[in-house]
Chains A and B, each alone.
Chain A
């Protein structure tokens, strides 16, 4: 059982390039999330999906897009990378399905550097 996997583990990217970060979960969770984590700022939500076929914007969505074609996959795309998008990106999932208890399970993260 893998849980949540992310790829790549790390990446150095030239500014202006397009990049897709991959995330796959095998827990059949309804909800999935993308966060970025920067020193001193904690986890900030970029986009989320409550169920396959739906997505929503989080706290810092600008410059990012997502899709949720099926339950397992939730890719994050940077259309034209900028240096301020240098960060550690975490994908997470939760069972969802209601209010209250919403334990989130995290992937190992992708360390992205934009030069």
Chain B
């Protein structure tokens, strides 16, 4: 079956670093997306990984291990505006994405 797991909620401190993990089990795999969703708003694209390794984009980085079915999103120098839900999604070789339930990140001053 298809399954994507993320922690439900995480709390971190402004200025710190936080790592949000995502594990997946799917029948096929072509790539993994991370999206950010602020409360009451639409999801917006953060990153895409298809090969193993780390992709860095400013304060955000995303890592993928295909053999382990594992990814993480790393957020550095946390700001209050980073308080949001972070959604992991896997693409399986057609146009569709399989979505995790999302991780709600709470940033405290």
The A interface is mostly helix, strand or loop, or mixed, namely loop
Contact (Cβ within 8 A) A109 B91? no
| A62 contacts the other chain (CB 8 A) | no
A40 and B101 alpha carbons, distance in the complex (Å): 6
Contact (Cβ within 8 A) B48 A104? no
Please indicate the chain A residues that have their CB under 8 angstroms from the CB of B97 in the complex. 45, 102, 104
| B67 contacts the other chain (CB 8 A) | no
8 Å CB contact of A108 from B8, B42, B94, B96 = B42
Contact (Cβ within 8 A) A48 B96? yes
Query: B30 — nearest CB in chain A belongs to which residue?
Result: A100
A106 and B91 alpha carbons, distance in the complex (Å): 16
| Min distance, Cβ B23 to any Cβ of chain A, angstroms | 15
8 Å CB contact of A96 from B42, B50, B95 = B95
